[in-house]
């Protein structure tokens, strides 16, 4: 698995790279990839999303994209991980893959001493009944793209502009807010990468290129 740390990117630029990698990886032309990035402010609407879940934008770019899920916000201080993985044989289980992405988020947060939870019927990661991580993927030719976003030092104000993930009354938090301390973002990126390597399902998936 190749690790590609893109730093701070426009969402559209990272998406174009994902599409290039999906094509190559699905054809077996290169190994699986894990893209790590932060995005400039953007509101994205997934395949099942609705602009009715956006109350205002205050100049933030809004994009319709081809991941699952509804509306979410990306911005600086939020780590986004895009696993471009070719799923083969028993790994061809989309719901299982989504569940294991939730495991990645939960295990990552546990490394900070937290007790994160999954919620039945609601994709994502929760801490103290507030959403801290969002998940939504796309799959082409059994190759995954899009992925998981976790709020680290994120300015949470733009989440008040939307109905996060289309969930009425959902509150959003960040690792900084939960721990009441600024987080070393480089250390957080490194921890998230290591967590991806420790999930058996994902480790198996990325070994089959």
For 26-67, the pLDDT digits (tens) are 998 999 999 999 999 999 999 888 899 999 999 999 999 999
Q: Hey, is 98 helix, strand or coil?
A: helix
pLDDT above 70: residue 202: no
Check if the beta carbon of residue 171 is closer than 8 Å to that of residue 129. Answer: yes
pLDDT band at 201 (very low <50, low <70, confident <90, very high): low
26 vs 10: CA distance, rounded Å: 24
In sequence order, the 6+-apart residues with CB closer than 8 A to the CB of 48 are 68, 69, 70, 166
| DSSP code at position 117 | E
Alpha-carbon distances of 196 from 24, 51, 83, 102, 189, rounded to whole Å: 21, 32, 9, 11, 11
Provide the pLDDT for residue 194.
94
Count of CB atoms situated within 10 Å of the CB of 162: 26
Q: Which residues pair with 196 in a beta bridge?
A: none
In the chain, the N- to C-terminal Cα span, in Å, equals 9
pLDDT band at 174 (very low <50, low <70, confident <90, very high): very high
pLDDT above 50: residue 186: yes
Count of CB atoms situated within 10 Å of the CB of 5: 12
pTM of this prediction? 0.92
pLDDT band at 93 (very low <50, low <70, confident <90, very high): confident
Question: What percent of the chain has a predicted confidence (pLDDT) above 70?
Answer: 95
Parse the chain into domains and list their residue ranges.
2-206
Catalytic one of 30, 106, 165, 180? 165
Q: Hey, is 38 helix, strand or coil?
A: strand
Q: What is the DSSP string of 132-177?
A: EEEEEEEEETTEEEEEEEEESS---GGGGGB-GGG-TT--B--HHH
Q: Which CATH number fits domain 2-206: 3.30.930.10, 3.30.1300.10, 2.60.120.340, 3.40.50.170?
A: 3.30.930.10
How would you classify residue 124: left for phi > 0, otherwise alpha for psi between -120 and 50, otherwise beta?
A: left
Provide the pLDDT for residue 208.
45
Provide the pLDDT for residue 209.
38
Check if the beta carbon of residue 131 is closer than 8 Å to that of residue 164. Answer: yes
Count of CB atoms situated within 10 Å of the CB of 169: 6
Check if the beta carbon of residue 192 is closer than 8 Å to that of residue 150. Answer: yes
pLDDT band at 197 (very low <50, low <70, confident <90, very high): confident
Where is mean pLDDT largest: 96-100, 156-160, 204-208?
A: 156-160
Over range 155-175, report the average pLDDT: 91
Residue 165 is among the residues annotated as catalytic for this protein? yes
In terms of DSSP bridges, do strands 33-39 and 143-151 run parallel, antiparallel, or are they unpaired? Answer: unpaired
């Amino acid at each position: 698995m190749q690790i590609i740390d893109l730093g701070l990117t426009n969402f559209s630029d990272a998406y174009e790279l994902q599409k290039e990698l999906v094509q190559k990886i699905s054809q077996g032309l290169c190994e699986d990839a894990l893209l790590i990035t932060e995005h400039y402010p953007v509101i994205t609407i997934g395949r099942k999303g609705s602009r009715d879940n956006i109350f205002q934008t205050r100049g933030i770019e809004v994009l319709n994209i081809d991941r699952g899920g509804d509306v979410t916000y990306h911005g600086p201080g939020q780590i986004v991980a895009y696993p471009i993985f070719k799923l083969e044989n028993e790994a061809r289980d989309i719901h299982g893959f989504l569940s294991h992405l939730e495991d990645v988020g939960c295990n990552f947060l546990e490394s900070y001493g937290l007790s994160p939870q999954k919620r039945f019927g609601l994709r994502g990661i929760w801490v103290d009944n507030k959403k801290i991580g969002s998940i939504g993927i796309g799959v082409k030719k059994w190759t995954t793209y899009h992925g998981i976003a976790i709020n680290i030092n994120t300015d949470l104000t733009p989440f008040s502009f939307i109905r996060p993930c289309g969930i009425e009354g959902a509150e959003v938090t960040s690792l900084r807010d939960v721990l009441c301390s600024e987080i070393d973002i480089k250390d957080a990126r490194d921890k998230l990468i290591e967590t991806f390597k420790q999930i058996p399902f994902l480790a198996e998936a990325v070994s089959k290129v």
